[in-house]
Amino acid sequence: MHVSKSLLFISMGLTLSVQAETITRDNGAAVGDNQNSITAGSNGSVLLQDVQLIQKLQRFARERIPERVVHPRGAGAHGEFVASGDFSELTRATPFAQKGKVTPVFVRFSSVIHSKGSPETLRDPRGFATKFYTDEGNWDLVGNNLPVFFIRDAIKFPDMVHSLKPSPVTNIQDPNRFFDFFSHEAGSTHMLTWVYTNLGTPKSYREMDGWGVHAYKWVTEDNKVNYVKFHWQSQQGVKGLRPEEVAEVQGKNFNHMTDDLYREIGQGNFPKWDLYVKVLSPKQLGDFDYNPLDATKMWLDIPETKVGTMTLNRMPDNFFLETEQAAFSPANLIAGIEPSEDRLLQGRIFSYADTQMYRLGANHSMLPINRAKTKVINHNQEGAANYGNTRSDINYQPSAHLDLAEDEQYKAVNTQLTGYVQQKAMTKQDNFSQAGVLYRSLSKQDKTDLITNLAGDLGKVSDINVKTQMLSHFYRADKEFGQRLTKAVDGNLSDVKQSAKM
């Protein structure tokens, strides 16, 4: 280490002597002058041999990496998950193996559409992604603060996100574009109703629930399968900003959610969430008017069981290293948790690691925030920024020289199939009834706020056909909902009723 002459600090009348370290170039050699470039004489040009100058400018110009294509704005925190019982009758997943079992976690909360420096007051679903560093590898539960999603098939995701992101012409988000898309996706009615409640503008990250949205499979040691949905219930309660509060907060501090998280955890006021699961046996999947593997649906009327509690108790030391470089993926599953056949989830299984190879590089799983706490032996080789520590020359399997094998107990569970390879829309779509259930469950004030929020954006739509189609979706969800909304956007109710019949 290079140590320069001691510095004197004068503080509260005391004179302190501190040994300052000397700054270095990238090769570790000490820097003599970090204030003046090397020039040819007092009025001459700067010399190419000024390695310190060149290194600083080069490295500075490469500080940015691509922002996440969705969910770019976020804040993360470390913590732990404690199981509330032994759930081995439902899953062999190790975080649920015994009461009191502790699993370290890292959570990243985020908004979805708006860019990295955007105001946290903008309406959006919010991401709620949890990385469990389990003793059988990392499990990521990558969810949102709302229980359902806009679409049911991954093939529509890029179209949907294009319509919600700023226009490629004006670079401004435009309700004309996203309502044009959603007017063709009746399945979005339920999620749009959620997003336009005040939960689309949460008061803080601490005061949001989290939802896994999709069904997953829970598998036991003896390969018994059940379908489950996950739900994080905030012990802080769930609060959204009312329409007039949004404007007020935005005018004062549009980083309110990140600020709140750093402040509350910094003061030792650790937020907690209870994790609940809903369980369906494979036989029960056929028992509903809707498809339980459709991500636009909740499993209403199925009871929840509490399986543990998470506490967030430490903020990252460095935002970029931990929060920005965190890579969550629904493909990061562990023994006892498998994907269901949900078409949206199946697309997500591919998409996350793919984008992360672009955003962070092929070796992103080696970064400290992403690295499993267990030994990783995968024969991956080389690639940019590889700092693995393989010392063996046997980087293939099987080999007569290395006793490394797969283990049968970790094979995918058998699933019986019938039918044809096909390309067809999901049956039993039931696009409107759960949106109606949600509307009717709201308080008087929440209903009024929902109408105000939704009419604000729908009122900006200039294409009368798009507007009428959207209104007819909400009318079909609930007559009163449709009528009040139509009045609020100054539309013609007879057109809406006509569209709703079609």
Catalog residues that contact ligand HEM under the rule CB under 6 A: 68-71, 74, 108, 110, 127, 129, 142-144, 149, 154, 157, 213, 295, 326-328, 344, 347-348, 351-352, 355-356, 359
Q: In the bound complex, what is the minimum distance in angstroms from residue 108's beta carbon to ligand HEM? A: 4
| Catalytic residue from among 78, 114, 144, 145 | 144
The SS3 call for residue 188 is helix
Contact assessment for residue 73 and residue 120, using Cβ atoms and an 8 Å cutoff: yes
Closest to ligand HEM by CB, 23 vs 69, is 69
Q: Which residue is nearest to ligand HEM (CB)?
A: 127
CA atoms within 13 A on the CB side of 202: 28
Q: How far is the CB of 29 from ligand HEM (least distance, A)?
A: 36
Among residues 8, 335, 360, 317, the alpha carbon closest in space to that of 139 is found at 335
Q: Quote the least distance from Cβ 359 to ligand HEM, whole Å.
A: 5
The C-alpha atoms of residue 56 and residue 404 are separated, in whole angstroms, by 46
> Taking the CA atoms of the chain, what radius of gyration do you get in angstroms?
27
Residue 85 or residue 347: which is nearer to ligand HEM going by CB? 347
Catalytic residue check, 144: yes
Q: Is 363 a catalytic residue?
A: no
CB of 8 to ligand HEM, least distance (A): 45
Is there a contact between 457 and 316 (Cβ–Cβ < 8 Å)? no
Catalytic member of 71, 78, 114, 214: 71
Q: How far is the CB of 467 from ligand HEM (least distance, A)?
A: 27
Cis before 398 (ω within 30): yes
Q: Which is nearer to ligand HEM, 76 or 436 (CB)?
A: 76
Report which DSSP code applies to 142: E
Compute the distance between CA of residue 201 and CA of residue 112 in angstroms, rounded to an integer.
12
How many Å apart are CA 498 and CA 493, to the nearest integer? 9
Question: Quick one: 212 or 482, whose CB is closer to ligand HEM?
Answer: 212
Task: Quote the DSSP letter at residue 378.
Answer: -
In the complex, least distance from residue 158 CB atom to ligand HEM, rounded to whole angstroms: 8
DSSP of 277-290: EEEE-GGGGGGSSS
H helix or E strand, kind and range, residue 76: strand 74-83
Q: 74 near 117, Cβ under 8 Å? A: no
Distance, CA of 457 to CA of 451 (rounded, Å): 10
Judged by DSSP in three states, 146 sits in coil
Nearer to ligand HEM, 160 or 302 (CB): 160
Considering the complex, state which of residue 178 and residue 475 has its C-beta at the smaller distance from ligand HEM.
Answer: 178
Q: What residues act catalytically? A: 71, 144
